[in-house]
Amino acid sequence: TLLTLCILVVSLLMNGLRQIFRRYTKIVQYLIRMRKLRKKNTKKLVSRDLKMEKRESRREAKALAAAQLDQSIEKELLDRLKKGTYGDIYNIHKDVFEKLVDEDEEEEEEEESEFVEDFDESDLEDIEDYALEMEMETTGSSRKKVKITE
């Protein structure tokens, strides 16, 4: 009986030791996995503030609408100014006036520009001769023709 009691106690202790050893190995494995994860660069999850995002998107939409309204008003006023709706007296900002003048100059430059195809050196000589003839006609003097070589 004493022997069976000792065997029973030893078996209980062994079962307890096995459970303790299993728990210990689980904890060690957990710590090893944690070290590996720390070494590995993983993406960090960041929470989004949806309320702030919605608020910002509404503000952006309102700002875009206001900017489009301002641009349409400015365009309408410039069109009226070009048509002469307001007469001869203008009281407009300097920046707007310069912008309007620049646009008119660009349009005039586009109309005046003339494109020429590729030309040879003989064409260059013809142009120089023509320029000299025009200069002689306008100044009324008789100058000698001089060939310019490069």
Q: In angstroms, rounded to a whole number, what is the distance separating the alpha carbons of residues 4 and 55? A: 77
Q: What is the pLDDT of residue 66?
A: 92
Q: What is the pLDDT of residue 143?
A: 47
Q: What is the pLDDT of residue 112?
A: 54
Residues of the chain above pLDDT 90, percent: 19
Choice among 29-33, 84-88, 139-143 with the minimum mean pLDDT = 139-143
Amino acid occupying residue 74: E
Give the number of C-alpha atoms closer than 13 A to the C-alpha of residue 122, restricted to the C-beta side: 0
Q: What is the pLDDT of residue 51?
A: 94
Contact 104, 81 (CB under 8 A): no
Task: Please state the pTM of the whole predicted model.
Answer: 0.33
Averaged pLDDT score across all residues of the chain: 76
Helix axes 94-112, 50-83, angle to 10 degrees: 70
